[in-house]
Amino acid sequence: MDVFKLRDKVIHDYAEYVRSFVRIREIRLQQFVDDSLTDQALWPQPLIQMNPSFEVGGWIDALVESQILHEKCKDIFRIKTEQNIQGSPMRLHKHQVDAIGEAQAGRNYVLTTGTGSGKSLSYIIPIVDHVLRKGRGKGIQAIVVYPMNALCNSQYGELEKFLRIGFGEGNEPVRFERYTGQETREKREEITRNPPDILLTNYVMLELLLTRPFEQALVNSARDLSFLVLDELHTYRGRQGADVALLVRRVREACHATRMLCVGTSATMASGGSYEEQRKEIASVASRLFGTDVKPESIIGETLKRESPELNFADASVLQGLKSDIAKTNVFPSAYASFIKSPMACWLEDCFGLTREEGINRLIRATPKRMRGDDGAATRLSALAGMSTDECEKAIERWLLAGCNCEPHPDTNRQPFAFRLHQFISRGDAVFASLEENDTRHLSISGQQFVPGSQKSKILLPLAFCRECGAEYYSVWKYTESSTGRVHFRTRDLNDRVDDPAEGEAGFLYRDPENLWPDDPDDVVERLPEDWLEEHRGRMRVRSNRRDDIPQPILIAPDGTVSADGLMFAFTHTPFRFCQHCGVSYRVRRGSSDYGQLATLASGGRSTATTILSLTSVRFLREEQSLQSYARKLLSFTDNRQDASLQAGHFNDFVEVSLLRSALYKAVAAAGSDGIAHDEL
């Protein structure tokens, strides 16, 4: 599958979705918004990051033969599937073997390795080995705590592969259960009656376990607990981190676990400084969290290795080989050994995969890079090879995809280059403009307060657009200083609709240079909606209940203050009652929302935006013939079940409504000029 095409399709559809909300009348303003979206202001270029290779640590079978692991581990920890229950031997990474050593030495440890590094095996293997040596069925010997149920469910599936496949349900060499609050009452009672060896839970349920009397038996079964694992340690920060730190201490006390081994895992916990300085910082944080000593030497990082040889691209022959690789369009090495020896593969690993830490020359992950820009990958390759940026960009995409389709490594069964495409997408905020003439005013979508370089003499205010004609309105607070009576205007979010004593009067500013709001009462009457008027003595006048809603002409300077030297604007208070350009009017109540009358770049809902992104991805995957049917899926992570349920329901409703509208359109179109009766439709 071409993930770059998927990204382009997703961004294209999302851009069309964002554009559909905003109709802009003023040409220069419309061009600015179009240019901003084209320049990917709301969806910057994706970051590309390659999954590195890890230094090997040893085979499970070899660790069993060396009596480091229990003999049953060689039957449990194998690469197994439902089709191949015997599986094949498993080879561990160095950091996984290091973790086993720390556990068997009785030292608390924290594993800080990246995504896809097999962190979970670094505590699962020591726990299973411990249970096998001590004997199963002797109460809860390990509790593993996850910050999200989704992670807990994922790990439960991994344990099933190791402990059930090949053994059968009920015959597991080590028993494990999930206790997250999602289980039925009957299941919870069963777990309490027959405690597992390993309990997977979250910190909220673990807290409840310690406090609910009817679950005291489960706590008692964890007496002299051997392992307490906190997965994704970096998520426990601030108040939540303090709560979890106290929870760890209560678990130690409630379980009388004086010898409890504390284990933590995290992708990242420290930034900046040398590797040794990071280890000291992580050890300090972990010690406070666990309430026990975690030594810097027990902070286990990842040990990376190169897959491709390290080439000198200053060598003319190597550089020529790189240029030849860039020029290739459809013929790439298919054998693993041949692929990783190619100059282009070496350059890709240098760029996206690995770099060396300053001072100690240690291999670390390269910072994710964009394709273009001053430090973009295509820009760097173009400067090195003396070829166009466009040509280099296409070559990078082709070779990254070729690395995913190359034959795997004979030992690890991994393709040379597994890479990730990180695409950040913003819902947008608003278009901001200064209080100046249309052809000279400063425009921005960055949410700044002042025009850059103006020494704060020119303010920027957010714009909202009439949904009927696209006329733009500044969303403002009108604030009057009590001591001086000085009036000035400042930024107001469109959702702030009620007057606030601290902020002022909520309202809008409008300016049409060719049709300024008049001072003459007769001219004002001509500009107001008909239902605002009444006949009095043969003449039309404004109804008494509408006089406070009439736009007020005000001269305003670029700094937002009322000034005789400023430009003429018309101020109206919220809610938005009528458009001063097209005349459309609304029956609204004080304090009601302006969403139906005015639009901004951020008018789209979060759920709808997520549905658009999801639907585009799913449709693309369904049409991708290179993928197996089971692989054509989209994974979404969210913080709680309520959000996930809401999004799933929104997605299903969106699809159903789209199908219904499509069917109605098809039926009407098929009927032609004769039309179709309602009952037939």
Compute the distance between CA of residue 496 and CA of residue 573 in angstroms, rounded to an integer: 12
Q: Measured between alpha carbons, how far is residue 233 from residues 64, 178, 497, 511, 559 in Å?
A: 30, 20, 41, 54, 48
Per DSSP, the three-state class of 305 is: strand
Q: Residue 130 has what pLDDT?
A: 97
What was the pLDDT predicted at 501? 80
Instruction: Say how many C-beta atoms besides its own lie within 10 A of residue 452's C-beta.
Output: 10
Residue 269 has pLDDT above 70, yes or no: no
Regarding predicted confidence, which is higher, 232 or 360? 232
Query: Is 628 a residue whose pLDDT tops 90?
Result: no
Task: Please give the residue that has the higher pLDDT: either 498 or 610.
Answer: 610
Tell me the per-residue pLDDT of 323-348, one tens digit each, with 9 for 90 and over. Answer: 999 999 888 888 888 999 999 999 99
User: For 541-572, how does the pLDDT look when each residue is reduced to its tens digit (9 = 90+)?
Assistant: 999 999 999 999 999 999 999 999 999 999 99
Mean pLDDT is lowest, of 226-230, 428-432, 619-623, for 428-432
Sign of torsion, CA 295 296 300 303?
negative
For 147-238, strand residue ranges (E) read 176-179, 198-202, 227-230
Radius of gyration of the chain (CA): 32
Total number of residues shown for the chain = 681
Which of the pair, 592 or 505, is modelled with greater confidence? 505
| pLDDT at res. 447 | 81
Domains of the chain by residue range: 94-305, 306-420, 431-599, 636-681
Q: Give me the CATH topology for the region 94-305.
A: Rossmann fold (3.40.50)
* Beta strands at 261-266 and 227-230: parallel, antiparallel or unpaired: parallel
| C-beta separation of 24 from 46 below 8 A | no
Which whole-number Å values give the CA distances from 548 to 252, 494, 543, 551, in the listed order? 68, 21, 10, 8
Q: Residue 85 has what pLDDT?
A: 84
Instruction: Note whether 558 and 458 are within 8 A (CB).
Output: yes
Q: What mean pLDDT do residues 272-297 have?
A: 92
H/E/C letters for each residue in 256-283? CCCCCEEEEEECCCCCCCCHHHHHHHHH
Mean pLDDT for the chain overall:
91
Q: What is the pLDDT of residue 237?
A: 86
Half-sphere exposure of 251 (CA within 13 A, CB side): 35
For residues 501-514, give the mean pLDDT: 91
pLDDT the model gives residue 88: 87
The reported pLDDT for the residue numbered 230 is 96
Helices (H), 272-385: 275-290, 316-327, 336-341, 343-348, 377-385
Q: Do residues 129 and 197 touch, judged by C-beta distance below 8 A?
A: no
Residue 509 · residue 552 · CB < 8 Å: no
Output the pLDDT for position 639.
65
DSSP structure class, residue 439: T
User: How do residues 561-611 score in pLDDT, each as one tens digit?
Assistant: 999 999 999 999 999 999 999 999 998 887 788 888 999 987 777 888 899
Which pLDDT tens digit goes with each residue over 173-231? 999 999 998 889 999 999 999 999 999 999 999 999 999 998 999 999 999 999 999 99
Q: How far apart are the first and last CA of the chain?
A: 41
pLDDT of 270 > 70? The answer is no
Instruction: Give the pair of three-digit tokens for residue 335.
Output: 């054998």
Lookup: tokens for 301: 């990082």
CB 99 within 8 A of CB 123: yes
CA 358 vs. chain centroid, Å, equals 30
Average pLDDT over residues 245-268: 94
pLDDT of residue 479: 93
Kindly report the backbone phi and psi dihedral angles of residue 406, in degrees, each rounded to the nearest multiple of 5, phi listed first. Answer: -70, 160
**Residue corresponding to tokens 């901001």:** 432
Tell me what the mean pLDDT of segment 56-79 comes to: 94
- pLDDT for 273 equals 77
Q: Distance between CA 460 and CA 443 in Å, rounded?
A: 8
